[in-house]
Amino acid sequence: MRALLGPSGRHPVCKWPRETSPGESTEVGAFFQEFPVTLPGQAPTKKQRREKGFSADRALYDSWRIHQRKLIRTHLLSYWTRQKPSVHTVQGYIRSSGWNSNCVSAREVVEGWTLPPKVDLRKDSDLIGHIKQHSWPRLTIAESKMPRAGNGVFATKDFARNTVVCDYNGPVVGAEEGRRVLEALQPSEGSYIFFFKAGEQKLCVNSQVAPCQCHPDKATYGRMINHSTKKLNVKWMVFNVPGEALPVLLIKAARDKGW
């Protein structure tokens, strides 16, 4: 088996986890819940592991790095969706992402890259179910740590780039009706009117009222999403649900990160 090279050309030292006992498996599960593996994250130090009551030896540390390396590899292989990148392009992206260690080589990414298959979202039964049932299990609403930001939507797990996060839920009406709702708002009221165009139709989603009347027992996530205007977390797309007369707005992850 050929060893994998890191970006610097050195061979990284990786210890593959041995088979664990039931008790050890429980500890591993608790460890990854306490220290979730993310693309930009750092493996917990010995001090951090001890403070949380975990073993101070390197087994959990190495396991964390192995999982992150796999996550980075999956991300890199799926990042370029239209054409195969060059080694130079991948190296630049790896450097800009700060993956100075624990990363596969740019050459391996180029050699392993394949054109991703086109996905027909209209045939995705899980997605259709989430839209109709207004159920988006990987999201939660919580108070933001940013000053005066109020509540916001946070991912309980990272989303892969171009994955559907949720919809912008609310009645779809004509743009003229949306403008009338907008003009009637009080100065202190926030606007949750999303104008868009579907073909020749000028429409909008009226998400002023929350929760929505169709699912009063569920959170309305789309209207609560806040993201940077400089480095976007999400993007939107018009989607026609099979059998439905009016389209919906879907919100997709613009990059492989949680919020």
The CATH number that applies at residue 215 is 2.170.270.10
Which of 10-14, 54-58, 224-228 has the weakest average pLDDT? 10-14
Q: Which among 129, 120, 218 is positioned nearest to 170, based on CA atoms?
A: 218
pLDDT at residue 15, rounded to an integer: 36
Q: Mind listing the pLDDT tens digit for each residue in 75-101? A: 899 888 878 999 999 999 999 999 988
Residues 248 and 130 in one domain: yes
Residues 56 and 135 in one domain: no
DSSP state of 237: E
Residues 87 and 157 in one domain: no
If one counts the domains in the chain, the total is 2
Cα 139 to Cα 13, 32, 48, 219: the distances in Å are 36, 19, 27, 10
Q: Give the residue-averaged pLDDT of 97-115.
A: 93
Residue 8 has pLDDT above 50, yes or no: no
Query: Contact at 8 Å (CB) between 105 and 7?
Result: yes
Residues 140 and 209 in one domain: yes
Out of 89, 112, 135, a domain closes at 112
Residue 88 lies in a domain: yes
Please, which pLDDT band fits residue 5 given cuts at 50, 70 and 90? very low
Q: Mind listing the pLDDT tens digit for each residue in 149-175? A: 678 888 887 787 788 999 999 999 999
Residues 150 and 85 in one domain: no
Residue 66 lies in a domain: yes
Residues 153 and 218 in one domain: yes
Residue 107 lies in a domain: yes
Domain of residue 235: give its range. Answer: 121-253
Residues 156 and 97 in one domain: no
pTM for the model? 0.60
